Amino acid sequence: MPSLKNKTIIITGASRGIGRAMAVKFASEGANIVAAAKTLDKHPKLPGSLNETVKAVQEAGGRGVAVRMDVRFPEQVQNMVDTAIDIFGGIDALVNNAGAISLTPVEKTPLKIFDRMHTVNDRAVFLCAQMVLPHLKKAQNPHILNLSPPLNLDPRWLKDYGPYTRSKFSMSLLTVAMAGEFKKYGIAVNSLWPKTIIATAAIEFAVGDKSMLQYCRKPQIMADAAHLLLSSKDLEWSGQLFVDEDVLRTRGIDDFNKYAVNPDFSDKIKKDLYV
């Protein structure tokens, strides 16, 4: 399996949670990390920052740079790409991790919130992929990884949280579309989603139930699965909508207890919304 050593990887939403865990995991193999998000130093409500992520990347053995940016704005995305090129000389992978969530039905979702989920979720996948594409074409073994779920049109997946689900399913559709379109360039494009709920700010703040954290897994399970996907070679995997457990099982990993936030609740972990 190819190493990520000296590979340059852009990760959006890298100031905390899954994005930060991925940054540290990739850095442990010597990757260069472009950590991008809106929180450079300190968020008024949430823990974690880009500067903390870059420090953790360096401590793990990689090189990192923090880029304060908002995926809704093309000029800021372009600055992120330009920074990666200026500092590291190229781009080998893009991880579209930044996300916006509101678990509300159509009737109770303000247009402002609908638009935010669209621009931060699926529109950002389109925008970021389009801007890194010229550089991925020059890379050896390039990848795009979108954090979005498997597609299922059963109404039970859509009826309660239609606006959010639409934005995430659109990301998955873009995965399949770009995998086919970019195959001629040797660029692998996949999606990754957790089998269970993950201990992130979305659980603690968006869902509003801090007690749920003890029924979660740590973000490291997503980081480990993402590492395997970005390390795959020659379009071994492309156009797939993966679940983290399934990726790890392909490499003989089937003991997931170590990822439990509370080991005493490892057999009570809650499944994710879309699995």
Domain range list for the chain: 8-265
**What pLDDT shows up at residue 127?**
98
Q: With contact defined as beta carbons under 8 Å apart, do 261 and 201 qualify?
A: no
User: Over 60: is that where the pLDDT of 105 sits?
Assistant: yes
The residue annotated as part of the active site, out of 164, 215, 259, 274, is 164
Phi-psi region of 61 (alpha: psi -120 to 50; beta: other; left: phi over 0): left
* 259: annotated active-site residue: no
- What per-residue confidence (pLDDT) applies to 46? 77
Indicate the range of 108-117, 223-232, 244-253, 264-273 predicted with least confidence.
Answer: 264-273
pLDDT, tens digit, 9 for 90 and up, residues 196-220: 999 987 766 655 567 788 899 999 9
Its pTM stands at 0.96
* pLDDT at residue 125, as a whole number: 98
Of the candidates 61, 1, 5, 55, the residue with the CA atom closest to the CA atom of residue 28: 61
pLDDT exceeds 80 at position 120: yes
Whether 61 has a pLDDT exceeding 60, the answer reads yes
Q: What is the pLDDT, as a whole number, of residue 204? A: 66
Question: Under the phi-then-psi rule, with left for phi > 0, alpha for psi from -120 to 50, and beta for the rest, what region is 251?
Answer: alpha
Q: Supply the mean pLDDT for the chain.
A: 94
Segment 102-126 shows an average pLDDT of 97
223-241 residues labelled b (16+ CB within 10 A) or e (exposed): bbbbbbbbbbeebebbbbb
**7 or 266, which is more confident?**
7
Given a contact cutoff of 8 angstroms between Cβ atoms, the answer to whether 199 and 21 are in contact is no
Distances (CA, A) of 181 to 70, 141, 146, 174, 189: 26, 16, 16, 10, 10
pLDDT at 39: 85
At residue 194, does pLDDT exceed 80?
Answer: yes
**What homologous superfamily does CATH list for 8-265?**
NAD(P)-binding Rossmann-like Domain (3.40.50.720)
Residue 31: predicted pLDDT: 98
CA–CA distance, 20 with 64 (Å, rounded to integer): 12
